[in-house]
Structure 1
Amino acid sequence: MAGPRTMTRDQRLVLWIAVLASFVSFLDGTVVTVALPAIQRELGGGLTTQQWIVDAYLVTLGALILVAGSLSDVFGRIRVILAGLIGFGVTSVAIAIAPTAELLIVARALQGVAGALLVPSSLALITATFRGPAQSRAIGIWTAATTSAMVAGPVLGGLSVDFLSWRLVFLINVVPIGVTLWLLAILKHHDVRPEAATVDWLGAMLCTVGLGGIVFALIEQPNLGWASPVIWAPMSIGILSFAGFLVRQAVARDPMMPLGLFRVRNFWTGNLATAFIYGALALNGFVVGVYLQQGAGLPATLAGLATLPITVLMIIFSSRVGTLAGRWGPRLFMTLGPLLMAVGAVLLLTVSPDFSYWTQVLPSVIVFGLGLTLTVAPLTSAILGAIDPAHSGIASAINNAVSRVAGLIVIAMLAAIVGGSLDLDGFHRAAIVTAAMLATGGLVSYAGIRNPPKQPTDAAGSPEAATPGAVGSSDRTDSAGG
């Protein structure tokens, strides 16, 4: 295994493929929020339509990301990434030409299917190729590079909305998709696939129906009320289906979500922290992106540029933070990062009718960005570094599913959080909820995450590659000191 600063040709190609494959998924996530007001003006619909434009993607992504992780481990990461790239490109074109909001929502749902194939497979490719400090550094580089989508998305989305059309921004995925397909063609890399592994299709169906029913009920409940059978019937079916999914995972021969993974302390604790942190990130991103346009009156370009400092900070420091987390352990970073983000969210309470970006929003953005930079790479490394590389696909998929489903549920509950309207009072309520969720994520990390043991060094004084603990073997993390 190459040292953290000396990658082989194949390792560099793997890292670039992982970065670009994830880039297209992250790019669409940031583009959509900035484009929502323009989409609403052209295609119609209110807050519920905006929620569905975001959540249609997240429903299929969150529901199928687990089966995508299984597909990655069964059929190979390269093959699954290839299918995801092609599907993402086709659905991006469908979104760009959608004549109605309903068809756009359907296209977004299909795009979520393709997106489910990309992120866990790309991250699993990294964790299967790099181990030890090299893995922490690679994940840090992946975090910094994919975060550039947070720059490109809002800026390109805002420019397109203001000067061209929101439709064109969904077509910019063609470039990174094309480059990634070319890199896949020149990579001399063969997937290692277990012969007896299968995909749990029944589990996939139960998970999809479970999440879809619950989220539909949460989004439509403010319009129809809990007494409506259109609400309580899907909610009941969703809850029963998801309960059936969990039972299925306990008895299936090749489950989508092996419950034994949750015996590893850093894995289950990291995923619990992920739920709070990424739920808060989804809420903050949606509310800030929409309010700056509809409440504060900023044009789409300026609204897109408003959170640019967050991305700049992550691009500059994420790789370094990943390296430090590999050396010192993730616990400190996973505790301080979310708490710092919580402070940033509280600063949004200074936003007033007499709006000023420089004094009311920018301080929050900078503090939030510093906290996010401290959090992301160590969180990913702590979770995936605790799992055997043979299960890296499903482990990455579970973590991504947790983050996406957390965002999905929070956005579905948006009307209840903001009080039915995203005015200034609703904006402040969302900031308080965001801060509370982030603080909870930091406290969960402090209480539950354990730093792995110090690694031995070779004769040259370089850390040797870590040998990961087997699935379900929690001793490696439970016995380590904090």
Structure 2
Amino acid sequence: MDGGLRLKSAQGRWVVLAAALGSGMAMLDGTVVNVALPAIGADLGASLAALQWTVNAYLLTLAGLILLGGSLGDRYGRRRVFVIGVCWFALASGLCSIAPTVGVLIAARALQGIGGALLTPGSLALLQASFHPDDRSAAVGAWSGLGGVATAVGPFLGGWLVSGPGWRWIFVINLPVAVVVAALTLRHVPESRDERATGRFDVPGAVLAALALGGVTYALTAAAEGVSAAVWVSAAAGVLLGVAFVVAERRSPRPMLPLELFRSRLFTAINLVTLGVYGALSGVFFFLQVQLQTVSGFEPLVAGVAFAPVTVLMLLFSARSGRLATRIGPRLPLTLGPLVAAAGVLLMLRIGPAASYWTDVLPAAVVFGVGLTLLVAPLTATVLAAVDVRRAGIASGVNNAAARAAGLLAVAALPLLTGLSGEQYRVPSAVDSAFRTAVLICAGLLAGSGLLALATVPGRRPAVAVEPDTSWYCCPTGPPVDPGHQASEST
């Protein structure tokens, strides 16, 4: 049954605040971790592979379990699962903050990803279930604006914490936020569930997906240190588990990933574009913070806010970009956006030793931000429009998972492709060389994604009218984050 809350009511405003703070906590965490990587490496004596896993452990469990997390909310109560996710995320953050070794930090980050998989789908699902249909768009808009504030504040806060109290405080900051979110949610958010949700969960599918991604990620990460029998075994296991996942989803009566969605040529094409775009963005931001701090000598605070213009541009113009794509069709923005973003990435080649922010960094940030502003909202709207309205939730969840998986694989593969390994991330000359190679690879991925959109996306307006989602804001120090659609809407 549809909810009946009104946005202007006191309870309605509390519901939006709780959902925005919850998703904002996850967005903030994704923003600040990349800023802290050099400091984490120096403090814990971590290798480059360990820093890769500091990022990827979170993405691995999040990407593998996010669709299952949405299903759990539909079945057992969206408020309940949301609160469990918030508390889980907070406890894992606390463990991250006291990690004595990088191994413990990586394990805690994996636990954080599980919390994120429970929390992320529930944020928008709470709004969808709680508000009157006439107020849902306004509620989502308010939620998006508050989420954008979290994204904008994140780089400054992360840089300040790393430069001041230390990197561990980027995780401590989640604890008081989680307490507030849980209290607001339990007091003000009504419980809701899908009474039609029956049958078994696709736990085998979720496990196979996570293991397949884990096997391939381990192989790519370990191969940078040298190809060994373990690398080949891991790679083969990842591929075989991926095949097993496809077979399991084809046979499952209620699959986590309905393969029939890919019968839509447009849906398939847009997800391929998503893989290219978000793989490139994740790779750029992983290398960028190391380049700015190790090679260019920027302090963490300055490095953290260096690409703030990207967030500002997206906050101001993403909604307009979505409306423009609705009027003229998605092909042009989805072609020009990646190409302009690729040009911005190429401008990052100017970022080197003794780089100037105003002449070397800012122009790249502005051009890059213009490209992302053109493409992000139309990308989300087009993937939703590629399927029936009743399947928009699962389509968005699949696209979200594709973006996470792309980031996971990019962070694992790029150091291998650029020849950076071991302790070399502390050597300015080695980092500078690897960064330039990574920039060229990522620019190529973006340009290829734009050309793929040109060849596959229709120039006309999508057949299914879907309000563009303005929640895909780009973290200036991490991959764009979608705080989660109702990822597992019943099909």
TM over 0.5: yes
Query: Letter of the aligned partner of 1:438 in structure 2?
Result: L
Helix, strand or coil at the partner of 1:192: coil
How far apart, CA to CA, are the structure 2 residues paired with 1:439 and 1:202? 36
Q: Which runs of 5+ in 1 are unaligned?
A: 457-470, 474-482
- SS of match in other structure, 2:200: coil
CA distance 1:255–1:213, shift in 2 (3 Å): same
Residue from 419, 427, 435 that aligns with 2:435: 427
Q: 1:400 maps to which residue? A: 400
1:265 CA drift (Å):
4.0
Q: Which amino acid aligns with 1:447?
A: A
1:120 to partner: Cα distance: 3.0
From the superposition, tell whether residues 383 and 87 of structure 1 become closer, same or farther in structure 2 (CA, over 3 Å): same
- Give the C-alpha shift of residue 18 in structure 1: 4.1
Which of 454, 458, 462 is 1:452 aligned to?
Answer: 462
TM-score (norm 2): 0.84
Q: Equivalences for 1:277-426 in 2 at 5 Å? A: 277-388=277-388, 391-420=391-420, 422-426=430-434
| Other-structure match for 1:87 | 88
Superposed CA deviations along residues 166-205 of structure 1, whole A, max 9, x for unmatched, are: 1112122234434433443313352224242421111122
Letter in 2 for 1:425: S
Alignment correspondent of 1:19? 20
Match of 2:247 in 1: 247
Q: Paired residue for 2:472?
A: none
Q: Could you tell me which residue of structure 1 aligns to residue 105 of structure 2?
A: 104
Tell me if the contact between 2:41 and 2:47 (Cα under 8 Å) persists in the aligned partners: yes
Tell me how far 1:86 sits from its aligned partner. 1.2
In structure 2, the CA distance between the partners of 1:394 and 1:454, relative to structure 1 (3 Å rule), is closer
Q: Report the CA distance shift for 1:454/1:264 in structure 2 as closer, same or farther (over 3 A).
A: closer
Q: CA deviation at 1:348?
A: 1.1
**Which has the larger displacement, 266-275 or 424-433?**
266-275
- Structure 1 residues 299-353: Cα deviation after superposition (integer angstroms, max 9, x where no partner): 1111111111111222222333344445554443333222211110011122343
TM-score normalised to structure 1 length: 0.85
Deviation, 1:249, is: 0.4
Residues 396 and 299 (structure 1), Cα distance of their counterparts in 2 relative to 1, 3 Å cut: same
1 CA distance for matches of 2:231 and 2:346? 34
In the other structure, the counterpart of 1:180 is 181
The equivalent position to 1:199 in structure 2, one of 197, 201, 207, is: 201
CA distance in 2, matches of 1:404, 1:80: 21
Alignment of 1:437-448 (within 5 A): 437-448=445-456
1:119 corresponds in structure 2 to 120
Query: Is the contact between residue 388 and residue 464 of structure 2 (CA under 8 Å) also seen in structure 1?
Result: no
Distance 1:125 1:333 in 2: 31
SS of the residue corresponding to residue 168 of structure 2 reads helix
> What is aligned with 1:233?
233
Does the CA contact (< 8 Å) of 2:33 and 2:170 recur in 1?
no
Farther off after superposition, 57-66 or 352-361: 352-361
Give the alignment's Cα RMSD to 1 decimal.
3.1
Shift of 1:388: 4.8
Structure 1 pair 441–177 and aligned structure 2 pair: CA distance change class (3 A): farther
Determine the structure 1 residue equivalent to 2:481. Answer: none
* Residue 202 to residue 352, structure 1, CA distance change in 2 (3 Å): closer
CA distance 1:70–1:187, shift in 2 (3 Å): closer
Task: Report the 3-state secondary structure (helix = DSSP H, G, I; strand = E; otherwise coil) of the residue aligned with 1:98.
Answer: coil
State the Cα deviation string for residues 198-233 of structure 1 (Å, max 9, x = none): 2111112211211111111110112131xx222111
CA drift at 1:125:
4.9
After superposition, the Cα gap between the structure-2 partners of 1:314 and 1:362, relative to the gap in structure 1 and judged at 3 Å, is same
User: Who is 2:39 aligned against?
Assistant: 38
Aligned mate of 1:208, from 207, 210, 225: 210
Aligned residues: 454
| Cα deviation, residue 289, structure 1 | 1.0
Q: What is the alpha-carbon distance in structure 2 between the residues aligned to residue 333 and residue 16 of structure 1?
A: 32
Counterparts of 2:196 and 2:402, CA distance in 1: 25
C-alpha separation in 1, matches of 2:51 and 2:450: 30
Change (3 A) 1:11 1:377: farther
Which secondary structure does the structure 1 equivalent of 2:245 belong to? helix
Q: Match of 1:156?
A: 157
Report the 3-state secondary structure (helix = DSSP H, G, I; strand = E; otherwise coil) of the residue aligned with 1:223.
Answer: coil
Q: Counterpart amino acid of 2:446?
A: L
Moved more, 346-355 or 55-64: 346-355
Distance 1:313 1:438, change over 3 A: same
Secondary structure at the aligned position of 1:166 is classed as: coil
How far is the alpha carbon of 1:292 from its aligned partner? 0.5
Whether the aligned pair in 2 keeps the contact of 1:69 and 1:396 (CA below 8 Å) is no
Counterpart of 2:462, as a letter, is: P
Specify the code of the residue in structure 2 equivalent to 1:400.
N
Distance 1:142 1:23, change over 3 A: same
Q: Percent identity?
A: 43
* CA distance 1:453–1:254, change in 2 (3 Å): closer
Could you report, residue by residue, the CA deviation over 1:230-289 in whole angstroms, capped at 9, with x for unpaired residues? Answer: 211122111111110000000111111111222234432222111111111101111111
2:297 alignment partner, SS class = coil
Change (3 A) 1:327 1:172: farther
Distance (whole Å) between structure 1 residues aligned to residue 174 and residue 344 of structure 2: 31
**Change beyond 3 A, Cα 1:33–1:76:** same
Whether 1:264 aligns to 2:229 is no
Q: Sort the Cα spacing of 1:138 and 1:259 in 2 relative to 1 into closer, same or farther, 3 A.
A: farther
Do the aligned residues in 2 keep the contact of 1:15 with 1:126 (CA within 8 Å)? yes
